[in-house]
Amino acid sequence: MIYLDNSATTKPHKEILATFLKASEEYFGNPASLHKIGNEAEKLLESARRQISQLLKMDQIVFTSGGTESNNLAILGTADAYRSRGRHVVSAVTEHASVLKPLEELERRGFEVTRLAVDKFGQIDLNELKNSVRSDTILVTLMHINNETGAVHPIAEIKKILGGTRALLHTDAVQSIGKVPLDTDSMPDLLTMSAHKIHGLKGSGVLAFNKVQPGAILFGGGQESGYRSGTVAVPQAAALAKALRLAQPNPLFAEWNRNLREFFGSFDDIMIVSPDNAAPHILSVALRGAKGEVLVSGLQDEAVFVSTSSACSSKNTETSHVIEALNLPPVFREGVIRISFGAFTTQQNITDFQRAFKKVHRIIKGVRNNEN
């Protein structure tokens, strides 16, 4: 099996599974309980929190169920807490659905949202961003790395632009944590991460922030300093801390990315969708006149697993909003697939993928020629 869909999810490390199992067996107590078993669980929870805080250089760590909840808390919670300052939010058209949908909810609540367009490389115009920020802008939410194309937003530059304003910066860093270096001296005000993108467990994430107090969107027992009610999943927190400690950018990603770009460049009916300066672990390409689903299915028959753009929308037959925003030529728009690397990817995987792709491409091209 050749798994090249690591931007959708990753296979958990055995060490992380071992941490989760040990914590589940030995620290099963409710960390809010007053007795010894609860206190031991609380100590492990706070140890995990400190480790993550130190690694991210962020003051406050709130454990959540994943990237979607973290993004919702960052956007809805911050908008609610700071609405007295203003009701204007800035974002981009290529954000993940877990950002776009909360923004739609804010509009239903009377907020105004400015969605920045992107160029053919998936980049926003920084001057347009600067001109979009107003005196009543309370939040700018921009992802670090696009989950479909790997396009990178320059978070450090964006933070400088916002430096003289009252707007807070939230960054969805789900696709960048552990994959590319982060400038920890230029961190956003709020940052989202998810464990299962870095070989951790599904259902586990973090919203990290500095000097910000977002309002709660879940109400109950007031856990997580009131930011996120509900019994905290201590084993998941410990496993997430372990995953973050193990996560390191792999220099081979850039080499494999270059190798595949050269490989796809040899085909006259393939367009490389990811920009040249994209994150090295994501590469999106499009086959002219074909459907991405056909490519995915054909490669699956060869035990190769990739996706059509985003896994979150891959079962939807419509072209993704990201691909639409890039304004690709119509003949390429439906033929996009995404290849993404992880910690278990090998050079042999890349070689075998190329062999399988050539075979599937010949079959698809033969069918098209027969139809014509």
Q: Tokens 């776009």 appear where?
A: 100
For the question of residue 312 being annotated catalytic, the response is: yes
At 350, list the tokens: 């890349």
Instruction: Write out the chain in H/E/C secondary structure.
Output: CEECECCCCCCCCHHHHHHHHHHHHHCCCCCCCCCHHHHHHHHHHHHHHHHHHHHHCCCEEEEECCHHHHHHHHHHHHHHHCCCCCCEEEEECCCCHHHHHHHHHHHHCCCEEEEECCCCCCCCCHHHHHHHCCCCEEEEECCCECCCCCCECCHHHHHHHHHHCCCEEEEECCCCCCCCCCCHHHCCCEEEEEHHHCCCCCCCEEEEECCCCCCCCCCCCCCHHHCCCCCCCHHHHHHHHHHHHHCCCCCHHHHHHHHHHHHHHCCCCEEECCCCCCCCCEEEEEECCCCHHHHHHHHHHCCEECECCCCCCCCCCCCCHHHHHHCCCHHHHCCEEEEECCCCCCHHHHHHHHHHHHHHHHHHHHHHHHHC
Instruction: Let me know the angle formed at the C-alpha of 194 by 191 and 198, rounded to the nearest 5 degrees.
Output: 120
Angstrom distance (rounded) from CA 198 to CA 177? 8
Identified catalytic residue from 93, 161, 252, 312: 312
At 125, list the tokens: 């115009």
- The catalytic residue positions are 312
